[in-house]
Structure formats: C-alpha cells, structure tokens
A and B are shown apart, each in its own frame.
Chain A
C-alpha cells in the first residue's frame, strides 16, 4: 500500500521554485530600495506636526469662495471629463477593432494597435496635458485632448477584450448569408458588446472626472487651475474649499455611474 503513504503536494517542485523566486525578487527589491532611496529622516519626524499645521490653516473652509470661481471651474472640469470621454471613442473604437483577433486576423495590425494602446496608457494624463498645452496653449482644449489621449489605451484595450469574447455563432450566421462587413459589425458584434461598451465608457468617465480635476496644475483648465492659484498664494482655506468641491463631485459621479450601470445591465 505504498500509494497511501504518498505525500501530496499542491505545487510541483518547479512551481515552488518559481513562486519562491518571485517573492525573493520583490523582497530583495524592496530592501534594496529602502536602503538606497534618499529620504531625509528629519522631515519624517516632524511630519505629524506639519500635517496638523496644514490642517489648522485649512480650517475653517472658505465657503464664500465657491460662487466666485470654484463653481465655474467645477462645471468646466465636468465638461473636460465628458468631452474627453466622447473624443476618445473616435480613436478607441477603430483601435479596439484592430486589436480583436476575431475581427482582424493580421498579427501586424495587432501589433500596430497594441503599440498605440500601450503608449497611450503609459504616458500619464498630466504629461499628455503638458504636451497639449505646448501645442494649443493653456485652456480647456488641451485638457480635453489630454483626457481623450490618455483614455484611448484603457477603452481600446477593454473593448478589444470584450470583442474577443463575442459568441461567434451569430457572426458566422450573418456571414453565411453574404452580409457585407458593415452589416456583420452592426448586427453581429455590436449588440453583443453593447453592455460591455457602456460599462467601460461609464467606468472611464468616472476615472476621467478624477483626472480632469488635476489637469489644471499644468494649465489645462478646470478646477486644478483654481487649486493651483490658491496654493501658490498660500490661501489654504480656499484650497480646502476646492478640495471639498472635488470630493463632492467625485462622490456624486461615482454614485451616478453605479446607478446607471445597475439600470443598464
């Protein structure tokens, strides 16, 4: 009865080594970074004091500041987020189609679209904003384009994955009737990815509301401009008002998105 004495293990030897080496890599990386990173310990010791000082300067919140500039800036921020999300779709939908292996089968086109998607995602929205401010000057336009270019990678990647999960039965049935490409797209793929499409777009809009709040720091419009101005003038009570406004809008946007998603899906 040798089999009963067999010692069962969850992972094979190779897998154990692999898992162990991943842990080892991260722990050594962590320790090395901890040793070599330049942190001035004196700054850390009085951090709680400094934070309390900052909070005491922020209190009480300057509510009178809201109607002066914050209201307009918040509306502008929401416009940047919404328009940016809509402009993204112009670029993201073709790239998503190019990236889905059951729509286009050429590996070359996959690599081209993947290159665009990855570069859109790796460059941060603030960096995109810097680039567009250099092109179109400071203002809302730069913000919209920054949001749009940053979202292409996100929307394109997720939409491409949703397209790949489409049940090919109805698509093949349409092709068998001799339907042209456009009809296959519209009646075969489109109805199946619609729920995923709306949830991706809503999710991205929610993220974009957060992101567009900071674009103003580099001059691309929205509440960030107001925040930056008050901060440069050390008007911390106004800063607190702007932060409160951002917080409220972000929370409301999230609640809105959750409600719409529950209705749609």
Chain B
C-alpha cells in the first residue's frame, strides 16, 4: 500500500499539461471580455429599467391582436411569393453556376471568375443587397426577389461546387470513355452523385429564403417585414406579436414539410 501511495505522490502532476499557448489564449479572451463589456456602457440602472420596459412591452404584446388579419394575410402571401420565385429561380441558376464554379470540371479561366462572383454574392448581408436593389429598382416585391436570388446563388452555388469537387472521378472517366459529350457527362456521371446533396441545400435555402422574405420588407423590399416594421413604428405591439406568431408558425409548417421532401428524394 505504501508503495502505491508513494507512486501516486510522485505522479501528481497532470500528464496532460496545458500548453503555454492555451493559457495565453485564455488570458487574451478574458482581457477582451473586460474591455468589450466596458465599452458596452452597461450599468445596473440601465439594465433594470430595460427589464421594466421588457415587461411593459410583453404586457402590450399579449394578447396578440389578429383583428387586421387581411393586412397580415396580404403581407404573408407576398412574402411567400417572394420566397417561392426567388428560391426556384435562384436554385435553378445555382445549378449551372455551381457546375461552372467546380474546379475539377472547368478550366481555371472559367472557374476563377465565377467563384469570385459567388464570393461577392455571399459577402454582403441580404439587407444591404436589398437596400441597393430598393434604390435601383424601387420599392416593392421585385427588390426582395432580386435580393434573395443573389443570396441563394451565394449560398447554394458555393456548396454545390464543393460537392461536385468531392465526387469520385471514375464514373466521369467511364462516361467520357464512351465518347459522351459534356452535357451527358454532367447528367449521367456528375448529377447522380451530387443530386441528393443538392436537394438538401435547396430545402435549406428555401427555408432561409422564407425567413429572409419576412425581413427584407424592413428596408422596403416587400413582404411581411414592411407590415411588421410599420406596426413597430406605430407601437401596435399586439399586432407585432400576431405577425411574429404567424412567422414562427410558418417556419414550423415548412420545417415539417421539408422533412417530407427530404424523405422523398
């Protein structure tokens, strides 16, 4: 027993020592936290008054007011239309752009500029793109549709190109050996390998477009967001609650439907 204990005494040090880098990183994180919380201008008084405001806000939000359901419904329909048009056309365009951006199918002089374009589509938040489109094509659903098409291309074309780059090339070579042209290679060798993943990205993007179509209206690009924003500015918080409940249930319904769609493919 004594021997055992003495061995245990001798090996008390942790065998998995923390490296110096690790400790330095933690110190950096903690310093940053102090600095950034300081810049927040947060104090107890402001926080407590904020909690007070929150409770009055919630009081005025409940019960939600569905009296102006016609306005709500027209906004909802416009949002759905924006989501539908932008998803279908965005996904369709991404199918081609994704193939053009794949480095194993295309020469660099095609794939590099296309990849740059896709990266540009992705780098700005949809709201900023929406602002620019509202300035250039005016208020309304068209600006929202164009925005979400750009957002869809930025997301799906990138992931689709990456999926194509991971395919097994044996099937491509087998189809090429038969003397098939490029379109047959894509249809019979590439698409079967990536189509299920493409459907996955597409359902995700539809979901994301549905959420975003309820937001682009805040900057005037049509849909439920405009209704929401004007209700906010008129302090109709019970109507705001009704709109929010509608949006959440819409997303829940789509989440249920999208599992069905994914099971089919």
Contacts and interface: CB of A to CB of B under 8 A. Distances in A.
The answer to whether A binds B is yes
A44 B53 CA distance: 44
Contact of B127 (A43, A135, A217): A217
Given A39-B142, A118-B251, A124-B215, A247 B46 contact: no
Interface string A209-227: 0110110011000000001
A18 B261 CA distance: 9
B66 to A, nearest CB: 18
A122 B248 CA distance: 6
A82 interface: yes
Interface in A1-47: 15, 18-19, 22, 26-27, 29-30, 33-34, 36-40, 43-44, 47
B212 interface: yes
B181 interface: no
B57 to A, nearest CB: 6
Chain B binding site: helix, strand, loop or mixed by DSSP? helix
Interface residues of B, number: 59
B165 interface: no
B252 interface: yes
B219 interface: yes
Contact of B244 (A123, A134, A217): A123
Given A33-B84, A214-B125, A130 B40 contact: no
A185 interface: no
B154 to A, nearest CB: 11
Contacts of B218: 126-127, 217-218
B172 to A, nearest CB: 19
Interface in A213-265: 213-214, 217-218, 227, 231, 243, 246-247, 250-251
B113 interface: no
A211 B125 contact: yes
A135 B54 contact: yes
Contacts of B219: 217
Nearest to B208: A121
Interface string A138-166: 01110010000000000000000000000
B132 interface: yes
A210 B128 CA distance: 10
Interface string A176-209: 0000000000000000000000000000000000
A174 interface: no
B116 to A, nearest CB: 12
Interface of B: 32-33, 36-37, 39-42, 46-47, 50-51, 53-54, 57, 77-78, 80-82, 84-85, 88-89, 123-125, 127-128, 131-132, 135-138, 140-142, 145, 211-212, 214-215, 218-219, 222, 228-229, 232, 244, 247-248, 250-252, 255, 261, 264-265
A136 B123 contact: no
A205 B215 CA distance: 21
A62 interface: no
B244 A43 contact: no
B46 A136 contact: yes
B239 to A, nearest CB: 13
Contact of A213 (B125, B136, B222): B125
A30 B248 contact: no
B136 A119 contact: no
A131 interface: yes
Contacts of A34: 85
A130 to B, nearest CB: 5
Contacts of A83: 33, 36-37, 40
